[in-house]
Amino acid sequence: MQRASVFLISTGLVLGAAGVALADGADPASEPPAGDPSAAPAVSPPGEANAAWSQSYIDRPLTLPAKMLSVYGDFNIANVSFTDSVTGTSSSATVEGLQLGAAYGVSDKLTVGADYSITLHPDGSAKGPLDLYASFGAYHKDKLSAAVGGGLIIDFTDPTTEQIFLGAAIRYQVAPKIAIFTGSPTTAPGPAGQHLQIGLNSKAPITFSIPVGVGLQATPQAYVYVDTTIADISISNSNNAFLFSDFIPVEVGGLFAVSSKLDVGAHLAFLDLKGSASDLVFGVSARYFMGK
């Protein structure tokens, strides 16, 4: 739910009090031996990292290979209901937004990137959040892959706000084609995760979320996933929220590797099924990879 979360940040003035914690997802590790797509991932030899960038998501590393550049874009449509704090009147808003970004593999383990989101409708504002991030591939062997990272979000929507985030993408393959994870399903490119979120403005919330998900490599090119948030824990200036008792955020999505250089995808995020199934974000995405 990484992309949906940033999109909702960019439309905060329109959505009002409807901000519900979203789950992060994760994305897959290294390439299997040729001719055996169900085998355990293999680690590429030094200097041949791009060979690991297979069309199979569950076999990709969690960071971009060295000298690989990725450019990406997401188009999102959100429908969220909210209540006016003064009149108590309930209404809903439909918001359309665009996110554009780029990421670069500084080394096989270090990826840096940035993206920016704008609102296309209803106000057409060019002001939105700028996301600067870095991810480090901490472990990638056999069934387990892990990356850690963090970054800074500067939201230029009036008034301008800043937020630091830290997180991790951890994926474990419980079967050759099935993985459980925490973090972002679109890692590489993208932040590893946003578990800890620290608002830098006066009385801004500080929270720690626990997202989890399951991914399936349905075909050699198609990857589908579902994720949620177990808990959204308040450290300050916020409220605790727990799955089922307080909220039920769910995202389902899929990614398809048209080639080793082009991915396309779509996702549908229900912000809180416990509240209203009509509060959701639908998005489509594309990302292009340029290797060394």
Does residue 22 carry a pLDDT above 50?
no
Q: Which domains does the chain possess?
A: 2-290 (2.40.160.40)
Contact by Cβ (8 Å): 119, 99: no
Which one is predicted more confidently, 35 or 190? 190
Residue type, 117: S
pLDDT at 86: 77
pTM: 0.81
**Tokens coding 140:** 């990638």
User: What is the average pLDDT across 128-140?
Assistant: 96
Does residue 68 carry a pLDDT above 60?
yes
Does residue 85 carry a pLDDT above 80?
no
pLDDT at 36: 43
pLDDT at 89: 81
pLDDT at 52: 61
> What angle (nearest 5°) sits at the alpha carbon of residue 239, between those of residues 215 and 99?
50
